[in-house]
């Protein structure tokens, strides 16, 4: 869980930097990568929350 929190934190920092520069191309490149990284973790988290 801590590792996921760290990943999310890094992502949030990167996201804010991108938003500041409004680099939409970069964002659209990052999103698919992000989904691959986070999707499995988020599903695991949801299962843990339901339990």
Torsion, CA 10, CA 25, CA 19, CA 31, rounded to 10 = -40
Residue 14: what pLDDT?
78
| pTM confidence score | 0.32
Residue 5: what pLDDT?
78
pLDDT digits (tens, 9 = 90+) for 1-51: 677 778 878 888 877 777 666 666 676 777 777 777 777 766 666 667 775
Residue 46: what pLDDT?
66
| Nearest CA-CA partner of 18 in 4, 34, 5 | 34
| Nearest CA-CA partner of 1 in 34, 50, 51, 48 | 48
Residue 8: what pLDDT?
79
Residue-wise burial string across 36-50, b where 16 or more C-beta atoms lie within 10 A, e elsewhere: eeeeeeeeeeeeeee
């Amino acid at each position: 869980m801590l590792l996921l929190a760290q990943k999310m934190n890094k992502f949030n920092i990167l996201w804010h930097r991108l938003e500041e520069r409004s680099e939409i191309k970069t964002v659209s490149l990052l999103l698919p990568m992000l989904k691959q990284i986070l999707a499995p973790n988020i599903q695991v988290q949801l299962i843990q929350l339901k339990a």
